[in-house]
Amino acid sequence: MSDSSDLLVFFLHFLMLSFLAVGGFSAVLPEMHRFMVENHHWISSQDFAAAYAIAQLAPGPNAMYVTLLGWKAGGWAGAIAATVAMLAPVATITIWAARMHTRNPDAPFAQALRRGLAPVALGLFLAGAWILVNSINTGWHGYILTLVAIVVVLRTKLNPLWFLATGALAGMAGFV
């Protein structure tokens, strides 16, 4: 980001995204990618995927990738803007929704909302996964490794840490 007007645009866009993050921040991952990588060129697609991967591997909340994206694009100011813009509205809505659910958990509106938002959240999550797969896989080797990991995860009860180790070994060997 080059100036304070870019930071304001960044903050307002992430603030808007926080209201759309049905199912978690990963649901708006494709829009974050489009906004930061494709439209403004603040970070590269590989940096975007790396920030997401590092935040997912690190202990703590999964939403930390938002802070890393902000930091990569705009330093400390970007990190603070991204974190506050994404967390403040979501925290407020979550507290309000929890209170409403506690008062009347079987309300027809609440049940309809849960049933209606579940497929939306899943679709947004899958769109984010697609963005990440295309951001990091530059050749057919990466796509094969991704496909094998998906098939094995769906067919077995193998611990996901084995996939991380296999991916790391494939990267060190120059396979991907």
Q: Where are the domains of the chain?
A: 4-135, 137-176
- Are 79 and 67 in contact by the 8 Å Cβ rule? The answer is yes
Instruction: Take residue 102 and report the two structure tokens written for it.
Output: 């506690």
64 to each of 133, 149, 166, how far by Cα in Å?
19, 24, 24
pTM above 0.75, yes or no: no
Model confidence at 12: pLDDT above 90: yes
Quick one: CA dihedral 94, 96, 99, 102, positive or negative? negative
The predicted structure's pLDDT at residue 113? 73
Rounded to whole angstroms, the Cα distance separating 46 from 133 reads 10
114 to each of 16, 23, 69, 117, how far by Cα in Å?
21, 11, 30, 5
Mean residue pLDDT of the chain comes to: 84
